[in-house]
Amino acid sequence: MKQVVVESGVNKIDVTLEDMEIKVVKDLADDLMNRLNSGIITIRVEDEEKVTIIVKVSDDLISEYKAGDILKTIIEPFGGRGGGKPTMAQGGYTK
């Protein structure tokens, strides 16, 4: 498993990948969350033209952290768009 970093008492995993299908990335995010149990996972997938980001937040943390809000802070500076549910959001931007 990727290294887990604890920030403000919250387990976090950040992963950067290249040229992967989004379905595979979503499956990876689900697998990591099942292993982590509680935390926030951010996966960035880059190809030549765009960056896609998947954010997952465990159910126990959604009162404080929403996947869509986290995603927005990552992609808005680049003019990106995205959305989702409190526990999972997906978005991206063009390079």
Tens-place pLDDT, residues 1-31? 568 999 999 999 999 999 999 999 999 999 9
- Region 71-89 average pLDDT: 96
The Cα–Cα gap between 74 and 65 comes to 14
- pTM value > 0.85: yes
d(CA 7, CA 20): 28
Query: What pLDDT score was predicted for residue 3?
Result: 86
